[in-house]
Amino acid sequence: MGNLFKLAELYNTDKKMADHGYVLMYENLLEEKRLTAKRILEVGFGSGASVKMWLDYFVNAEVYCIEYFDKEYTDVWKSPSTEIQELNVVRGDSTKEDTWRGLPEDFDVIIDDGSHFPQHQIATFLNGFKHLKSRGLYFIEDTHCSFEEIYGNTDMIYKWVFDMIIKQQTPGRNYGGNFYQFRNAIDGIAKEIYSYSFYKSVIVFEKA
């Protein structure tokens, strides 16, 4: 197994194989960016395990984290220290545009492991995707939570994604299937998405 697997175990992040198992996906998708990535950001500090893992994994990158510091931070995570060397902590609500103001606009990777409410994941994406560089990757984790009662028991996040996919396809009706002729006819942020990938409990977007 690659170094990311070892780091996930070392810092005991729930991304490790024994928990969510996300490290397998991340190892496959991020290995080629490990040495070249300049900036990455994770939404949600939690215990701090994940950002410590990313700091060690992306050896040449600046690592940022947005944390709301609400009741979950104090009651669930017991207010862990964010004083981690070389970590840039941004205090604020990721669903609010003001929180993103002043942040770099060339992140190689953005990971949303913050609020698992689908409406918050969508709002965070609409803010954060603008700060992703071309061919950068944006991850929304824990999409299975949408189907739990506490998070609304809804397929909202998937309907939203597939609505964007449909918006990308429908202008092609009158262009003979030539995507490049009708790209400018696509409305909204769908125009900026190059590809979508679906994993268990994770949606990945690649920026055009």
What are the Cα distances from residue 155, in Å, to 22, 124, 143?
21, 17, 9
Is 116 known to be catalytic? yes
Q: Note the pLDDT tens digit of each residue in 17-76.
A: 999 999 999 999 999 999 999 999 999 999 999 999 999 999 999 999 999 999 899 998
Point out the catalytic residue in the list 116, 120, 131, 144. Answer: 116
Q: Structural domain of residue 155, as residue ranges?
A: 3-207
Number of domains present in the structure of the chain: 1
Question: Which are the contacts of 68, defined by CB distance < 8 A and separation ≥ 6?
Answer: 91, 92, 93, 94, 114, 115
CATH of the domain at 170: 3.40.50.150
Beta carbons of 135 and 207 less than 8 angstroms apart? yes
Q: Note the pLDDT tens digit of each residue in 159-207.
A: 999 999 988 877 655 556 565 565 666 768 888 999 999 999 999 999 9
What are the Cα distances from residue 1, in Å, to 7, 9, 16, 50, 73?
11, 12, 12, 18, 32
Reduce the DSSP state of residue 203 to 3 states and report it.
strand
Give the long-range contacts of residues 74-77, CB within 8 A, separation 24 or more: 77/45, 77/46, 77/47
Instruction: Output Rg (C-alpha) for the chain, integer angstroms.
Output: 17
